[in-house]
Amino acid sequence: MGKVDILISEVGPRDGLQSITNIMPTAAKKQWISALAAAGIREIEVGSFVPASVLPQLADTAEIVAHGLTIEGLQIAVLVPNLRGAENAIASGAHKISIPLSVSETHSLRNVKRTHAQMLEEIARIAELVNSQPAHKRPHFEVGLSTAFGCSLEGPVSESLVVQLAEASLKAGCHEVGLSDTTGSANPAQLRRLIDKVWSAVGRDKLTGVHLHNTRGQGLANALAAIDMGITTVDASMGGIGGCPAAPGASGNIVTEDLVFMVEAMGLKTGVNFNALCAARELFAAAMPNTELYGFTPMSGLPKGMEIN
């Protein structure tokens, strides 16, 4: 594989599908993930280890992880809500596990039914579990600071609290924190400011990725601001599908296809083949025909004379 300047982490199979009522057949999901990997996507969040009663759309996560592990060079990420989920994720062999820690405690109680203090205790227990694994089986453990830019339940959130929770999460034992614009409230100036504050507190190597939603049309602008700051991993979702069931009004993620175009047009490498990416989009559309897909670039095509491969 060639050098990649910006790692695009595809979260459609988790964040996207959890917000769609219809359940994508497991066989089709495997084909989709294989097609994404074949297009050059190097990290995919393939699901979440939550009870099937809560998210039946992701009930097949263990099977999807097993499939993903057969694809050479693909980094398999999963989301977990608690220690039990982490136990299942580690047993599955996932390379990366993420747990959401909502800066808005109201959102945290609705999303994972835990306060900040309870979540930090859970993070410490998961870190202990991760560290007890043999080195070659030890997953990368990230805490995603959800609602870091605003909450549709509480309103504005304190930037100092974001920093405090980042410090507390790392002290509890996670490897890295990420900033998540769960409700699509962020603007580029705010994002630059918060990245700088977190970096000043914990170091640049402890925050390398952002998770952005496009609720108010600021997704790509925020992605550009993050990249300009030096962020190297940006989450995105094919067709812009996604949202957060626990955050009223939160719409989909930034569109993978548009993000690939923007990054490559700036002369940075994603490692993604655009035509193959569009083929993966078509595969998804055929399997989920009632799902609305977004994105300007897949509809208009690349500018004349431009290739992304």
Give the torsion through C-alpha atoms of 266, 268, 271, 274, to 10 deg: 0
Along the 309 residues of the chain, how does pLDDT read in single tens digits? 678 999 999 999 999 999 898 999 999 999 999 999 999 999 999 999 999 999 999 999 999 999 999 999 999 999 999 999 999 999 999 999 999 999 999 988 988 889 999 999 999 999 999 999 999 999 999 999 999 999 988 999 999 999 999 999 999 999 999 999 999 999 999 999 999 999 999 999 999 999 999 999 999 999 999 999 999 999 999 999 987 665 555 568 999 999 999 999 999 999 999 999 999 999 999 999 999 999 999 999 999 999 998
DSSP-based three-state secondary structure for 27 = helix
CA separation for the pair 217, 141 (Å, rounded): 30
CA separation for the pair 296, 289 (Å, rounded): 19
Determine phi and psi for 143, rounding to 5 degrees: -105, 120
Annotation marks residue 151 as catalytic: no
pTM, 2 dp: 0.96
Q: So what's the pLDDT on residue 19? A: 87
Strand partners, 48: 79
- Listed residue (109, 196, 96) closest to 146, CA to CA: 109
Give yes or no for a contact between 298 and 261, defined as CB atoms under 8 angstroms apart. no
> Sign (positive/negative) of CA torsion 96, 173, 168, 80?
positive
Listed in sequence order, the DSSP H helices in 132-272 are: 159-172, 188-202, 219-229, 256-265
Superfamily of domain 7-300 in the CATH hierarchy = Aldolase class I (3.20.20.70)
Give yes or no for a contact between 92 and 39, defined as CB atoms under 8 angstroms apart. no
Give yes or no for a contact between 191 and 143, defined as CB atoms under 8 angstroms apart. no
Give yes or no for a contact between 237 and 12, defined as CB atoms under 8 angstroms apart. yes
Q: So what's the pLDDT on residue 247? A: 54
DSSP-based three-state secondary structure for 38 = helix
- Listed residue (171, 202, 31) closest to 179, CA to CA: 202
DSSP-based three-state secondary structure for 84 = helix
Give the H/E segment covering residue 209. strand 209-212
CA separation for the pair 233, 231 (Å, rounded): 6
